[in-house]
């Protein structure tokens, strides 16, 4: 069990809870076909949306030319054994065994039930009704459908009730309810621990019964069918397969003439907005897209090409003292030298500070995770250092070369690689390291809040023996 799975289940739960709440508020009196479609859609929507892939791998951000530098590798080995041992015993190791135990129990129960069905099919008497196979057996308590067949007790005391039961169960097959039941059975094996799944399954089963009842009263008078429901529920057998939902609700449903109205425009628009909001809130869309705060400009807050339109920093003050600048004109090669010299001085200080703080997360090492994490670091004229963007560069961006600076962190791999890749931990580590960088200021344009230096730093996490 990994944090990614727990996060997926959390997002799944939020989606199902919100959509179920909307169902109870706005859709309980909609048509049964619409309710069935909505509940099945809720199941699928909740399962799929948290798995939506990330759109892209980060925005391309230009680095400072002529100052690209690859630092010496940093070998992180301190605390590796201790961290691995400390993280080996946790709920992440216990939960999978609990899950597999529950999965084995529900799988065994389902197989036993299917074996019983196969026994009834092979040893019972069979005939056909309305094109569907009917299986009769003495051990069957009440009518139901499974795997495209109708199952009935060997003898039913009331011939009219048996005829109504056949109409009811054939309506289930005609509406393909048995396919829903099969999918829900498989889902209950995988999500046996989730209460909202069982709620959705119960609601769908009820809608199936109501939908079949609605088909029955097209051929049987409502009064007659209501009396048959009441008679069967008071009988010794009870026929739980045919009358599985509460009798009062069944009778109320078949006598309610306001059912089946079409959905109005406002609930549909509300539902569309709700679905769009859930997609944004509960998926990974845009999570890894780098969004620099300065309109993607690595030098200033102006939304222009930094190398064609950047204003010229004019030098003022003594040559040996702090260099002061003011905005005037365009950037030329001579003025670019001042930025280059500053980066040369800044580079070793940044390397020292980053290597002092960085760690190779134990969970990432144990899962064999290697990745390049690209950070766009802004050094403002006034204030503390800021993280403009953080993302995993695409293969194309990596092939174009590193950023202004590349730091290599080499970790000791685990003896046994287990679990999925944990690139999220590497991003968290880079975010933490950048947050600890202090004491760096930009020499550009003192007194101006619009100009700063942004550099692109690649943190290359590698595992080597």
Q: What is the pLDDT of residues 252-275, one digit of tens each?
A: 666 665 555 566 778 888 999 999
Strands (E), 26-178: 69-70, 74-76, 125-129, 132-137, 144-146, 149-153
Quick check: is 413 in a domain?
A: yes
Residue 159 and residue 30 in one domain? yes
Residue 344 and residue 436 in one domain? yes
Last residue of a domain, one of 281, 303, 321: 281
Residue 333 and residue 265 in one domain? no
Residue 103 and residue 229 in one domain? yes
Residue 250 and residue 322 in one domain? no
Taking CA atoms, 411 is separated from 76, 81, 332, in Å, by: 5, 12, 42
Phi/psi for 333 (5° steps) reads -65, -35
Last residue of a domain, one of 281, 306, 340: 281
* CB-based contacts of 274, cutoff 8 Å, min separation 6: 18, 19, 22
The encoded tokens of residue 138 equal 């003495």
What radius of gyration, in Å, describes the C-alpha atoms of the chain? Answer: 33
First-to-final CA distance of the chain: 27
Residue 147 and residue 201 in one domain? yes
The gap from C-alpha 352 to its chain's centroid, in whole angstroms, comes to 38
Residue 265 and residue 319 in one domain? no
Closest CA to 136 of 110, 123, 148: 123
Quick check: is 36 in a domain?
A: yes
Cα separation, 142 vs 229, in Å, equals: 13
Quick check: is 98 in a domain?
A: yes
Residue 200 and residue 307 in one domain? no
Q: Which helix (H) or strand (E) holds 335?
A: helix 333-357
Residue 301 and residue 243 in one domain? no
DSSP conformation class of 30: B
Q: How many domains does the chain have?
A: 2
Quick check: is 61 in a domain?
A: no
Domain with 224 in it: 3-56+92-281
Residue 355 and residue 403 in one domain? yes
Residue 127 and residue 115 in one domain? yes
Last residue of a domain, one of 281, 301, 327: 281
Quick check: is 64 in a domain?
A: no
Cβ 465 vs Cβ 456: under 8 Å: no
Tens-digit pLDDT profile for the chain (465 aa)? 566 788 889 999 999 999 999 999 988 888 888 999 999 999 999 999 988 864 333 333 333 333 344 445 555 544 444 444 444 455 667 888 899 999 999 999 999 999 999 999 999 999 999 899 999 998 888 889 999 999 998 877 778 888 888 999 999 999 999 999 999 999 999 999 999 999 999 999 989 988 888 888 888 888 888 777 777 666 544 444 444 455 556 666 666 655 555 667 788 889 999 999 998 888 764 444 333 433 333 333 333 333 333 333 333 333 333 333 333 334 445 545 555 665 666 677 777 777 777 888 888 888 889 999 998 887 766 656 778 888 888 888 888 777 777 888 888 888 888 888 888 899 988 888 888 776 665 554 444 444 567 778 888 898 887
């Amino acid at each position: 069990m990994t944090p990614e799975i727990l996060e997926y289940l959390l997002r799944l739960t939020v989606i199902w809870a919100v959509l179920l709440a909307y169902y109870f508020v706005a859709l309980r009196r909609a048509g049964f076909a619409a309710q069935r479609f909505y509940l099945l859609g809720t199941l699928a929507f909740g399962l799929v949306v948290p798995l939506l892939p990330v759109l892209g791998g980060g925005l391309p951000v230009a680095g400072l030319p002529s100052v690209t530098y690859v630092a010496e590798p940093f070998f992180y080995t301190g605390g590796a054994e201790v961290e691995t041992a400390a993280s080996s015993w946790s709920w992440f190791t216990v939960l999978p065994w609990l899950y597999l135990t529950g999965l084995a129990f529900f799988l065994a129960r389902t197989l036993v039930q299917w074996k019983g069905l196969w026994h009834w099919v092979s040893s019972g008497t069979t005939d056909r009704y309305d094109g569907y196979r009917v299986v009769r057996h003495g051990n069957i308590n009440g009518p139901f459908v499974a795997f495209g067949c109708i199952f009935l007790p060997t003898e039913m005391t009331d011939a009219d009730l048996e005829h109504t039961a056949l109409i009811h169960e054939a309506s289930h097959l005609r509406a393909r309810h048995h396919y829903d039941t099969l999918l829900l059975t498989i889902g209950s094996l995988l999500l046996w621990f989730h209460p909202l799944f069982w709620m959705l399954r119960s609601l769908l089963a009820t809608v199936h019964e109501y939908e079949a009842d609605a088909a029955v009263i097209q051929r049987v008078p409502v009064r007659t069918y209501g009396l048959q429901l009441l008679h069967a529920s008071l009988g010794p057998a009870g026929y739980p397969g045919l009358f599985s939902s509460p009798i009062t609700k069944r009778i109320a449903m078949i006598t309610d003439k306001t059912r089946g109205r079409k959905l109005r425009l406002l609930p549909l628009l509300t539902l569309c907005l709700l679905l769009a909001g859930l997609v944004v809130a509960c998926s990974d869309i845009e999570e890894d897209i780098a969004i620099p705060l300065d309109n993607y400009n690595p030098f200033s807050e102006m939304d222009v090409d930094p190398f064609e339109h950047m204003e010229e920093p004019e030098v003022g003050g003594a040559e040996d003292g702090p260099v002061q600048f003011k905005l005037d004109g365009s950037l030329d090669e001579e003025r670019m030298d001042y930025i280059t010299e500053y980066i040369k001085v800044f580079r070793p200080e940044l390397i020292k500070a980053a290597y002092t703080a960085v760690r190779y997360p134990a969970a990432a090492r144990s899962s064999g995770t290697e990745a390049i994490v690209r950070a766009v670091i802004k050094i403002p004229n006034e204030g503390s250092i800021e993280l403009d963007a953080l993302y995993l560069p695409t293969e194309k961006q990596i092939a174009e070369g590193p950023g202004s600076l590349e730091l290599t962190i080499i970790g000791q791999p685990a003896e046994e690689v287990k679990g999925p890749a944990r690139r999220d931990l590497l991003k968290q580590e880079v975010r933490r390291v950048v947050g600890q960088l202090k004491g760096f200021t930009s020499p550009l344009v003192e007194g101006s809040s619009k100009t700063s230096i942004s550099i692109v730093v690649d943190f290359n996490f590698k595992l080597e023996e």
